[in-house]
Amino acid sequence: MNRKRRWLLVSVYLPLVLLVGLTSWVLFQQQEPSLGGEPLSHHLLKLQDGQSDIRASSLEYVRAHSAEFGPYCLKTLSGQSNVIQTWLESLQGRLAPTRIGKKLGVKNPRINLRIRAMSALALGVLDVPLEKKIQALKVGLYDNDRQTRMESVKSLAALGAHSLQILEPALMDNRSGVRNASLYGVYLLGPEASPALESLKNLLINEDLSLDPLSFEVFQRVGPEAAEVLGNALNTTNVVKRFRLLKAIVSLGNSIYPYRDHFIAGLKHPSSKIRSESARALMAGGQVHAEVAALLFPLLKDEEVEVRLSVVQLLNQRVPFTEPAIRDLLLLLEDDEKEIRRMAGFMLERLTPKASASKEALREALKSENIFVREVAAKALANE
């Protein structure tokens, strides 16, 4: 056989052999067990049907047939593609929409992502050995597909405190998708996540990582125990860390009262963000009385708009305590910020002046060239 003929045979038969091999691999991969005349994957895909009643009935069906779906979902979710499989799936994706692909019944490999995600969802209700379930869901948590990650953490959270062994280490993963998914799982756990509070705090104050809004909200979800973990860290001199700690601690209500000295000190901090959040924390910490409200009065003249706005919004919740600051409030009626003017006016209109100095300040405001100032002063004086 001469060289030209050999080359001709290779150029003709090699692509044919590759095509046959690829087709055989695809068809082999698509083989799966059936139940009720339908492949198990078809039942799983119904779990994301557009109609809620179909989703609910499908989930019950899957739960009732744990013996069949359990091993299948564990295998589906636990399987990790290697380089060759990824390449073959890429070829499968090209073959699926072609005429020959359609005749052979080749599925688009993208559907496998949906099946993996629904396998993760199903594992939340399937009766399978706990350790096997946890390990499969761990694989799902680190998956590249977002839906698979999120369904995995939902199913992990359904296991309660057992899931922390997987979720807590993932909080500091270098991939934001994995971090955010694990954070959501911890959020779903609520009070059961209290053993992970230290890790949650470390995630919150890590300046090298981008933060999901849940990084702040999760502490309220875990409960009052979070106040001690956050409060003890407030003595940091790092502005970014302190701001994040304050923003997270505000939502914990009365449990943050023991740390009010940090909040009072923060009212004079060089950073406007610290001043603003310290004011919020001070008012959120319970036992707000006239003396506490008075600590905020100097901030009504703060040079930063965000601080002035935060303070008028906070004092608006304690109008009876604001009479000593009536002159500062009158000045805010001419602030450059529209919302500050509006809030100050709203407060003054509800204030009942009792002290002679307050009434005198309002009478002086009646002579202002600003019609808004005159109107607000008149309404405040009418409350006598």
When the pLDDT of each residue in the chain is averaged and rounded to a whole number, the result is 87
Between 141 and 209, the more confident residue is 141
Q: Which 3-state string (H, E, C) describes the chain?
A: CCHHHHHHHHHHHHHHHHHHHHHHHHHHHCCCCEECCEEHHHHHHHHHCCCHHHHHHHHHHHHHCHHHHHHHHHHHHHCCCCHHHHHHHHHHHHHCCCHHHHHHCCCCCHHHHHHHHHHHHHHCCCCCCHHHHHHHHHHHHCCCCHHHHHHHHHHHHCCHHHHHHHHHHHCCCCCHHHHHHHHHHHHHHHHHHHHHHHHHHHHHHCCCCCCCCHHHHHHHHHCCHHHHHHHCCCCCCCHHHHHHHHHHHHHHHHHHHHHHHHHHHHCCCCCHHHHHHHHHHHHHCCCCCHHHHHCCHHHHHCCCHHHHHHHHHHHHHHHHHCHHHHHHHHHHCCCCCHHHHHHHHHHHHHCCCCCHHHHHHHHHHCCCCCHHHHHHHHHHHCCC
For 278-324, the pLDDT digits (tens) are: 999 999 887 777 888 899 999 999 999 999 999 999 999 888 889 99
Q: What pTM, to 2 d.p., does this model score?
A: 0.79
For 242-276, the pLDDT digits (tens) are: 999 999 999 998 999 999 999 999 999 999 999 99
Between 262 and 5, the more confident residue is 262
